[in-house]
């Protein structure tokens, strides 16, 4: 079984690239039906085209209001044949009808250890706050921002000399590990939501070698290949 999924992205698309790469390596049982961006110039779109993936630009200025935009976005994703949606740096809130259409089948990555630092520019906020541990969270998307059940989190050390940029770079390295892993679990049907919690069905895969990203903490543990 191969899960057809759409990826929404507004920016550079490095998380998109990490997911494409793991799919091409056969580590994620998914097929990307479309990459959709509200920013026509987003590098995410050119990354998609480079891999033969349909790239759809949907600039919000082309639509008279939010409702019209949201309907067009939902139509584009559904028409692509996607059965799940991955938000990879998508900087717009999804409308309730979109979330309802893909209930418990939308993942997001947030560059902070939720529920700390929801919202935007959170790496800079965490650095300014003086946290000593920062990180990233992959979670299911529900109607509230940065709120749904958590799938996986990764922590990195932070220090007094960090700023938003240095912290963002350290966190991004781990995003590229944990997001493909979470998508692989979703595609394999191993994620079950119970209330606020996500339960991961076990597998016999051996744990990943985390030496490359050490020191860090990732839980649940990454599996070989991620
Ligand atoms: C990542 O830090 C992600 O957590 C946040 O936006 C950034 C996207 O980076 N939501 P990229 O477009 O995947 O390179």
Residue 225's pLDDT band (boundaries 50, 70, 90)? confident
| pLDDT attached to residue 81 | 98
Which amino acid residue places its CA nearest to atom 14 of ligand 1? 14
Which amino acid residue places its CA nearest to atom 8 of ligand 1? 89
Cβ-count burial of 182 within 10 angstroms (0-12 exposed, 13-18 middle, 19+ buried)?
Answer: buried
Residue 104's pLDDT band (boundaries 50, 70, 90)? very high
Same domain, yes or no, for 116 and 219?
yes
Sign (positive or negative) of CA dihedral 119, 23, 98, 13: positive
Q: What domain count does the chain have?
A: 2
Same domain, yes or no, for 132 and 48?
no
Same domain, yes or no, for 143 and 69?
no
Same domain, yes or no, for 115 and 133?
yes
CATH number at residue 134: 3.40.50.170
DSSP string, 14-60: HHHHHHHHHHHTT-S-EEEEEEEES-TT-HHHHHHHHTT--EEE--G
Listed residues 60, 80, 103: the one ending a domain: 103
Residue 209's pLDDT band (boundaries 50, 70, 90)? confident
Beta strand 197-200 with 191-194: parallel, antiparallel or unpaired?
A: antiparallel
| pLDDT attached to residue 205 | 83
Assess contact for 105 and 85: CB atoms under 8 A: yes
Q: What percent of the chain has pLDDT over 90?
A: 88
Which amino acid residue places its CA nearest to atom 9 of ligand 1? 89
Listed residues 103, 134, 149: the one ending a domain: 103
Q: Which residues pair with 107 in a beta bridge?
A: 86, 140
Same domain, yes or no, for 224 and 171?
yes
Same domain, yes or no, for 147 and 201?
yes
CA dist 219 → 167, 176, 216, 222 (Å): 20, 15, 10, 7
Same domain, yes or no, for 123 and 58?
no
Same domain, yes or no, for 164 and 71?
no
pLDDT per position as a tens digit, 168-187: 999 999 999 999 999 999 99
The finding on whether 12 has its CB within 6 A of some atom of ligand 1 is yes
Same domain, yes or no, for 93 and 168?
no
Same domain, yes or no, for 116 and 24?
no
Which two tokens mark 2? 């191969």
Sign (positive or negative) of CA dihedral 59, 60, 64, 67: positive
Same domain, yes or no, for 27 and 114?
no
The finding on whether 15 has its CB within 6 A of some atom of ligand 1 is yes
Listed residues 57, 75, 103: the one ending a domain: 103
Same domain, yes or no, for 121 and 222?
yes
Show the domain range for 120. Answer: 110-226
Is residue 51 annotated as a catalytic residue, yes or no?
A: no
| pLDDT attached to residue 1 | 87
The finding on whether 118 has its CB within 6 A of some atom of ligand 1 is no
Atom of ligand 1 nearest to the CA of 17: 13
């Amino acid at each position: 079984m191969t899960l057809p999924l759409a990826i929404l992205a507004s920016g550079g698309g490095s998380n998109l690239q990490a997911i494409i790469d793991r799919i091409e390596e056969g580590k994620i049982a998914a097929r990307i039906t479309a990459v959709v961006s509200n920013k026509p110039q987003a590098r995410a779109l050119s990354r998609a085209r480079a891999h033969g993936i349909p790239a759809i630009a949907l600039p919000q200025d082309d639509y008279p209001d939010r409702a019209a935009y949201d309907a067009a976005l939902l139509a584009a994703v559904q028409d692509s044949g996607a059965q799940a949606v991955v938000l990879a740096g998508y900087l717009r809130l999804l409308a309730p009808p979109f979330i309802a259409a893909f209930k418990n089948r939308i993942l997001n990555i947030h560059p902070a250890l939720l529920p700390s630092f929801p919202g935007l520019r959170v790496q800079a906020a965490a650095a300014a706050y003086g946290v000593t541990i920062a990180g990233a969270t992959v979670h299911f998307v529900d109607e509230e921002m940065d709120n749904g059940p958590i799938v996986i989190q990764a922590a990195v050390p932070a220090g007094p000399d960090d700023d938003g940029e240095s912290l963002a770079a350290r966190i991004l390295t781990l995003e590229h590990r944990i997001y493909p892993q979470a998508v692989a679990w979703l595609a394999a049907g191993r994620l079950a939501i119970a209330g606020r919690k996500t339960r991961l069905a076990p597998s016999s895969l051996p744990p990943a070698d985390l030496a490359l990203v050490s020191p860090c903490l990732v839980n649940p543990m990454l599996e070989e290949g991620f």
